[in-house]
Amino acid sequence: MEITFLKSAFREDHYPPPDRPEIAFAGRSNAGKSSLINTLVNRRKLAKTSSAPGRTRALNFFALGDRLYLVDLPGYGFARVPEEVRRSWQDMVENYLRKRPNLKAVVLALDIRRDPSSGDLDLLNRLKAHGLGTIPVLTKADKLPRGRTSRRAAEITLALGSALEGKPVVFSAKTREGKEEIWQRIYEVTG
Ligand code: GDP
């Protein structure tokens, strides 16, 4: 299906009309969110990888054919971002999560090699509070030896505790492992 970039939006009145189901993508900076989106839609450079943290970042809306919107949310957890900027990103995302009526689930990218951050936990708890489904994705699985991936998946699941809903999908942008399972989960919530 054809994927097209629609627009960047900072405010609600700039979002495209909520006329079809929508899936958002979130994650700490460098978690592999852009690579995940690019792999899912078979495009090498659709979502920009590792963009500069100092830049103000928007919600980026994409259309997948005429049946689905995908939204790339700004990454969080940059070390050298002023508190004020951090807060404005948070407000923008919070506002989006709270008000977007057609949002069906948020795909959360988590680096399989790292322990979840407080930002990851915060986001999961907010999603839960808003009654939004989450599709947790453990990225960069190719960077671990085969036998280690299921152990890391269990450790991360434990660390996220009750904030987590649903089993994480083990994924690699390099081998494309997990891609079909993620699409299956997306179709389950978008109908
Ligand atoms: P973002 O900041 O969350 O959008 O993360 P990116 O997608 O830009 O990825 C951050 C870095 O990790 C980049 O250097 C990617 O090439 C690398 N990366 C992302 N996903 C994978 C993966 O599945 N396997 C490997 N080996 N590297 C990955």
pLDDT in tens, 27-78: 999 999 999 999 999 988 777 754 555 455 789 999 999 999 999 999 888 7
Question: Comparing 67 with 86, which gets the higher pLDDT?
Answer: 67
What is the per-residue pLDDT across 102-120, written as a single tens digit (0 to 9) for each?
Answer: 999 999 999 999 999 999 9
C-alpha distance from residue 154 to each of 16, 35, 109, 140, 163 (Å):
38, 23, 16, 16, 14
Q: To test the ligand 1 pocket, which listed residue (29, 35, 138, 139) has its Cβ within 8 A of the most ligand atoms?
A: 35
pTM score, two decimals?
0.95
Backbone φ and ψ for 59, nearest 5 degrees, come out as: -90, 125
State how far Cα 183 lies from the chain centre: 13
Residue 49 pLDDT: 57
Running DSSP on this structure, what letter comes out for residue 166?
A: S
- Residues 166, 143: Cα–Cα separation, whole Å: 23
Going by alpha carbons, the residue nearest to atom 9 of ligand 1 is 32
The answer to whether the CB of 77 is under 6 A from ligand 1 is no
